[in-house]
Chain A
Amino acid sequence: MPYLELKNVSKHFGRLAAVEEVNLQVGKGEILGIVGPNGSGKTTLINLISGYYRPTKGTIYFNGKKISGLRPDKIAELGIIRTFQSNVLYEGTTVVESMLISSYQQYSTNNWQSFLETKAWKDDNEKAVGRVIELVKLLDLLNDTFLPAEGLSHGYQRMLGIAMAMIANPQVLLLDEPTTGMNHEEAMFVVDKIKLLSEQGVTVILIEHNMKVLLNVATRVVCLSFGNKIADGIPEEVMNEKEVIEAYLGTEIL
């Protein structure tokens, strides 16, 4: 049984078919890259998996359970966490505060215990803070811990976005262009972390335009064009397929 499965999934906006009859199976621990020219439906695909959109047709299964049609928070509860294409932050909070809001699912105590400030909650909160600090260190955000999130540079805002997804302890991590606006070193830093996650059994699906990054990190690549899946396989092969090159028309291939 595949871990995450899309069966004949379509999404239409009026007469526009953003995603058309896509079938996709992703295994546990895989790092799946999604490529395709602009407007080919990559982000829509992530929006469909994360529940932001409901598919017009087709079903999505996770761990054998149907997840299409669930609310985004229910899907997040199951462990499918996403990031956004643009820098989507909790504006007005510091890095650490953003991370603590994002650890929403990671507490073992409930709201009442927190409200009454019981011993269990205090321990739990300390643990949460500990996890945040750990992750902040791992992602090189330590110096910025107490800075307002919107004051960070673009690259670090993206890093914070990834950190906020990682603190939610995902089973499946959906990354929408995680390295845009980063320099090569920063991008490679992110690649390392993604590989680390994958080793821990986390499935990662990422949209990526930077081919160096993609070839470096992905174990498998899917190419979309006008909402259709036109290629699926190991990165080097997919990137050399005639259809894929045609779809891009040489604009972004290296």
Chain B
Amino acid sequence: MRYFFKTIHLIDYKNIVPKTVIGLFIILILLIPVFTRNVVTLSTLIMTGIWAVAAMGFTLVLRTGQFSLGQSAFMALGGYASAILTAQMGLPFWPSFLVSGLVSGLIALLVGMVVLRVGGIYFSIITLALGEIVRIIALQWEPLTRGSRGIIASAPPPIILGGHELVNFNASLAPYFYFMICLVAVTGLVFWRIGESRLGRTFAGTALNPVLAEHQGIYLMKYRVIAFTVAGVFTGYAGALYTHFLQVITPMVFGLWQSIQIMIMSIVGGIGSLVGGPIVGSILLYNLGEYLSRLDTPGLQSFLFGSVVVIVVMFLPQGAGLVNLWERFWNKVVWREEEYEPDEPED
């Protein structure tokens, strides 16, 4: 579990990647819509970003030692909140969007205050049930959610500045792309700060040894609830963006299977980093899933996806995700550093 909590640095670790490289990389990403207008490429990237945000939420909850199997429920909550507010109630887009994450966060807060008292495997199974509850309500509360037909959600309105139309969401996918980038950036920034701050330390204590942490004055439930709520808020925004990007939300799109995918993205990507791991995980696994879904044989996609994940997990070094492999590679090849491997205690 060495890679689980690298959150507490005393020494300034050498920047794993030089800042200029990161800067160039970010500029390149920002310029993608300039180079390509390809609908498939852009929509794949947008979806990757949305799942990355959801996976970050899962990782944050996992940082407090809790294994949530209902993260997609918060995507559904955010998506439905935004769709209901705009399409069913006719409210303007931006306030509705802002509220959607808060609705999802509020539900996370309420559920968390009830369930996180127990924690552990009970939390996993109850969040799993929560996912089902949300799905069933969406399916059966027809007056509000239109049941299995789903709600048609419109695109965000064009942004007009001084009589000049600045951004038009209907013209191309580029505005959605930048919308996604903003969401990932804000989520990443918030989560990164959480990881680096005292909260990150306290989360680590809560996860690594709840009994000890409790006897040192840490109120476990408070920190579990904070993580769960913050994750709920941002996962909700991811769901709202998803809804307005696809312009429809049905009860089918967020269920246990999506929650499991979120979890797999987070863990395979690497839980050692709150932001990088989920992003790497979602880039690889979302694209793997997309690529496989083009295969025509039904079942083959699901079979290959599952098998690849099993094989990847089998060959990952303990406690490391793909993002850590990248780190190791960088340290070894670029910095030519000797890796510090503590002696395994005998037992």
Contact = CB atoms under 8 A, between A and B. Distances in A.
* A–B proximity contact (CB within 8 A): yes
Interface in B186-240: 193-194, 196-199, 201-202, 204-205, 208-209, 211-220
Interface stretch (B1-9, B55-63, B89-97, B129-137): B1-9
Interface in B276-304: none
Contact of B216 (A114, A121, A151, A164): A164
A73 B218 contact: yes
Most chain A C-beta atoms within 10 Å of own C-beta, residue among B209, B219, B220: B209
B2 A73 contact: no
Contacts of B11: 146
A57 B197 CA distance: 42
A89 B209 contact: yes
Interface residues of A, number: 43
A92 B4 contact: yes
A93 B5 contact: yes
A173 to B, nearest CB: 12
Interface string A73-113: 11011000110100011111100110011101101010100
A91 B219 contact: no
Contacts of B162: none
B342 interface: yes
Nearest to B198: A114
A147 B342 contact: yes
B345 A151 contact: yes
Contacts of A101: 8, 201-202, 204-205, 208, 213, 216
Contacts of B201: 97, 100-101, 104
Contacts of B198: 107, 109, 111, 114, 121, 125
B209 A88 contact: yes
B10 interface: yes
A21 interface: no
B343 interface: yes
B215 A52 contact: yes
Nearest to B205: A101
A93 B219 contact: no
Contact of A92 (B199, B208, B218): B208
A104 B213 CA distance: 9
A120 to B, nearest CB: 12
A175 B10 CA distance: 29
A107 B202 CA distance: 12
Contact of A89 (B8, B199, B212): B212
B204 A73 contact: no
Contact of A82 (B5, B204, B215, B342): B215
A101 B205 CA distance: 6
A84 to B, nearest CB: 7
Nearest to A107: B198
Contacts of B214: 71-73, 76
Nearest to B10: A96
A91 B342 contact: no
A168 interface: yes
Interface string A147-159: 1101100000000
A95 to B, nearest CB: 11
Given A111-B198, A148-B2, A76 B217 contact: yes
A117 interface: yes
Contacts of A100: 8, 201
Contact of B197 (A93, A114, A129, A150): A114
A151 B342 contact: yes
B1 A73 contact: no
A13 interface: no
A76 B216 contact: yes
A88 to B, nearest CB: 5
Interface string B1-43: 1101100101100000000000000000000000000000000
B345 A73 contact: no
Interface in B115-147: none
Contacts of B217: 73, 76-77, 104-105, 168
Contact of B208 (A50, A91, A115): A91
16 contacts: A50-B215, A73-B216, A73-B219, A76-B214, A81-B215, A88-B212, A92-B208, A93-B8, A97-B5, A101-B205, A104-B205, A116-B193, A121-B197, A121-B198, A146-B11, A168-B217
Given A73-B216, A90-B208, A117-B197, 13 more contacts: A71-B219, A73-B220, A76-B217, A89-B209, A90-B205, A93-B204, A93-B208, A97-B5, A102-B205, A104-B216, A104-B217, A117-B196, A121-B197
Interface of A: 50-52, 71-74, 76-77, 81-82, 84, 88-93, 96-97, 100-102, 104-105, 107, 109, 111, 114-117, 121, 125, 129, 146-148, 150-151, 164-165, 168
Q: Which 9 residue pairs across A and B have the least CB separation, nearest first?
A: A76-B217, A92-B1, A114-B197, A114-B198, A101-B205, A90-B208, A97-B8, A73-B219, A72-B214
